[in-house]
Structure 1
Amino acid sequence: MTGLCILFADIAESTTLFEKHGDEAARNAISSVLDVLLKEAQKHQGELVKTIGDEIMCVFPKANHALLAAVDMQNAVSGNFVLGNHPINIRVGFHFGDVIEEDNDVFGDAVNVAARMTGFAKKEQVITNSITFEQCILPPFLNHRSLGRTKVKGKLLPVEIIEIIWQQDTSQVTRVTSALDIKVPVTKSQLEIELNGRTQIMTDQSPTKTIGRGDDCDIQIAMLLASRYHGEIQFSGGLFKYTDESTNGSWVQQGGDEPIRIHRESMVLHNQGTIAFGEMDFSRPDQLLSYKIIK
């Protein structure tokens, strides 16, 4: 086992680039951005592990190297890349921990946690956790803030999420209200989840339930357009919330309301409803996740 800091950086809203500008233009733009991200990583002793579509995965010897690389990545991309009239932004997450190095790749719980940090990030954000942040020395031109605690798969206790404020003019930083920030009285509700005849019950003590095509997901889905890791349901701040982390998005239909598309963002689940993965198709009940709040 080796202690390394794993960093993921990906293009925010990349699906929109392909939809609006076509495959070739989008691929070229994404490739240019990823080249810049790699150069910034290498300035801080980062090594590329692999490129995954619109995302790069790098490792660093120390957490502070990853923090500085993440800040430089944001500064290098923000305001400097536009495809048509669509600004290209990135989101970055990193975590330090023990990994297994094998066949020019790295594996282990630390890799999964780093990926979750990136999943929590919105465009133009750098996200880590308090465990990793404590190993960093924050330069005077940077700031940080806590986004609260949340459950992370593989961790018994909630993890405190930290955002690195990389913009030097903090007066321009918009307060981000995310699922992690919302504080409401804790309820004793339960969430009943049903997919293809299989029912599960979540409580306020249940760990996060991951959803996707991957074998390691808690709830596996077989939809063609679903991502390997598509999203998750968690109890946070007294509420059950669904967070989409996919390439193509999710559609949530609550009660008799019109379906709402969410893409790499969270939605509070109320009463009962259904979730479609990858495309807005509610005609196949066997491919829909149904949920119901039980008071």
Structure 2
Amino acid sequence: MAELCILFADIADSTALFEKHGDEAARTAISSVLDVLLQKAEVHEGELVKTIGDEIMCIFPKANHAMLAAVDMQNAVSGNFVLGNHPISIRVGFHYGKVIEEQGDVFGDAVNVAARMTGYAKRGQIITNSATFKDCHLPPVLDQRSLGKTKVKGKLLAVEIIEILWQQDVSQITRVTSALDIKAPIAQREMLLEISGQTHTMTEQSPTKSIGRGIDNDLQTQVLMASRLHAEIQFSGGNFKYTDMSTNGSWVKQGDADPIRIHRDAMVLQGEGLIAFGEPDFEDAGQLLRYQIKK
């Protein structure tokens, strides 16, 4: 078992590129961006593990290599790639830890945590955690900030999320509300979840549930528009928060209200409702996540 830094970088809101500009133009643009990302990774001793649609997964010998590569990636893409009138942005997440290397791929807890770091990132962000960041040496022209602590699947204690502020003039950075910043004074204690005929319960003792097509998720869906790791529900501060990490987004219908689209962001769930993955299809009950919060 080796210790490596795993980095994921993907195109933010790539679905909109295909919808507005067609498959051929979108694929060409995405391919050009991914080529640049790989070039920046290689400069810092990174190796490509695989390309997954609009995303690359790379490994680095140390966390600092991955951090410097992430900064170079953002600087190389920001303001330099536009399709039509649609500027292309990326999201980057990385984490250092033990991995299993097998047949050119890597597996293990570190890979899962790195994927979750990327899931927390929004367009133009670089996200890691305090355990990984302590081994990084931030150039003096850059900065970082804590986005608070959150529960991560597989970790006993809450993990502190760190954003790398890669723009040199940090005074010009607009505050972006993070999924981790959401607070509400609603004290909820138990949530019932039902999907694909399976029922699950969330409490303070089981505070995190992952949702997606991947078999390692707590709640698995077979919806084709869903991502491998589509979303997480977390119990924190008396609230149940739904965080979308997907390519195509989620649609949340609370009570009798109209469905709300949430994409790479978070919201506090209230009462009871339904969640659709990838598209607002609420006709097929077997494809929906039903939730009910009990006090």
TM over 0.5: yes
Partner of 1:213: 213
Q: 2:31 corresponds to which residue?
A: 31
Alpha-carbon contact 1:179-1:236 (below 8 Å) kept: no
SS in 1 for 2:114: helix
CA contact (8 A) 2:188 2:239 kept: no
| 2:169 aligned partner, one-letter code | D
Q: How far has the Cα of 1:269 moved from its partner?
A: 0.3
Following the alignment from structure 2 to structure 1, what is the Cα–Cα distance between the partners of residues 236 and 10? 25
Separation in structure 2 between the aligned mates of residue 252 and residue 10 of structure 1, nearest angstrom: 24
Which piece of structure 1 moves more, 122-131 or 225-234?
225-234
Contact 1:183/1:238 (<8 A) preserved: no
CA contact (8 A) 1:142 1:167 kept: yes
Unaligned 5+ segments in structure 2 are none
Task: Give, in whole Å, the separation in 2 of the partners of 1:264 and 1:105.
Answer: 26
1:18 Cα offset (Å):
0.3
Report what 1:139 is aligned to.
Answer: 139
Distance 1:236 1:78 in 2: 34
Aligned partner letter, 1:286: G
Describe how 1:1-295 pairs up with structure 2 within 5 A. 1-184=1-184, 187-295=187-295
The answer to whether the 8 A contact 2:187-2:237 is kept is no
Q: Is the CA contact (8 Å cut-off) linking 2:188 and 2:293 kept in structure 1?
A: no
SS at match of 2:157: coil
Moved more, 168-177 or 106-115: 168-177
Does the Cα contact within 8 Å between 1:64 and 1:135 map onto a contact in 2? yes
Deviation for aligned residue 1:186 = 7.6
SS in 2 for 1:180: helix
Contact preservation (8 Å) 2:120, 2:179: no
One-letter amino acid matched to 1:160: E
The one-letter code matched in structure 1 to 2:257 is: D
Note the C-alpha offset of 1:254.
Answer: 0.6
The 8 Å contact of residues 248 and 278 in structure 1, kept in 2 or not, is answered as: yes
Amino acid aligned to 2:284: R
- Residues of 1 paired with 2:213 and 2:37: CA distance? 28
Q: Retained in 2: the 8 A contact 1:183–1:237? A: yes
Q: What TM-score results when the alignment is normalised by the length of structure 2?
A: 0.97
Write the letter of the residue equivalent to 1:170. V
2:69 partner amino acid = A
Tell me: CA distance 1:188–1:276, structure 2 relative to 1, closer, same or farther (3 Å). Answer: closer
Kindly state the Cα deviation for residue 277 of structure 1 after the two structures are TM-superposed.
1.2
State how far apart, in whole Å, the 2-side matches of 1:184 and 1:97 are: 34
TM-score, normalised to structure 1, is: 0.97
Q: Is the 8 A contact 1:152 1:207 kept in 2?
A: no
In the TM superposition, residue 227 of structure 1 has moved relative to its aligned partner by 2.1
Superimposed CA distance per residue, residues 107-130 of structure 1 (whole angstroms, 9 cap, x where no aligned partner): 111011001100000000000000
Q: Secondary structure at the match of 1:225?
A: coil
Cα offset for 1:231?
1.2
- Look up the equivalent residue of 2:127 and give its one-letter code: I
Report the CA distance between 1:195 and its aligned residue.
1.9
Which amino acid letter does the alignment assign opposite residue 82 of structure 1?
A: V
Give the fraction of aligned pairs with identical amino acids, expressed as a percent: 74
Deviations 1:225-247 (A, max 9, x none): 22222211111333111112222
- 1:88 Cα deviation from its structure 2 partner: 0.1
Distance (whole Å) between structure 1 residues aligned to residue 27 and residue 120 of structure 2: 24
What is the alpha-carbon root mean square deviation over aligned residues? 1.3
Q: Offset at 1:282?
A: 0.8
- With over 3 angstroms needed to count, the CA separation of the structure-2 counterparts of 1:237 and 1:141, relative to structure 1, is farther
* Residues 89-98 or 215-224, more deviating: 215-224
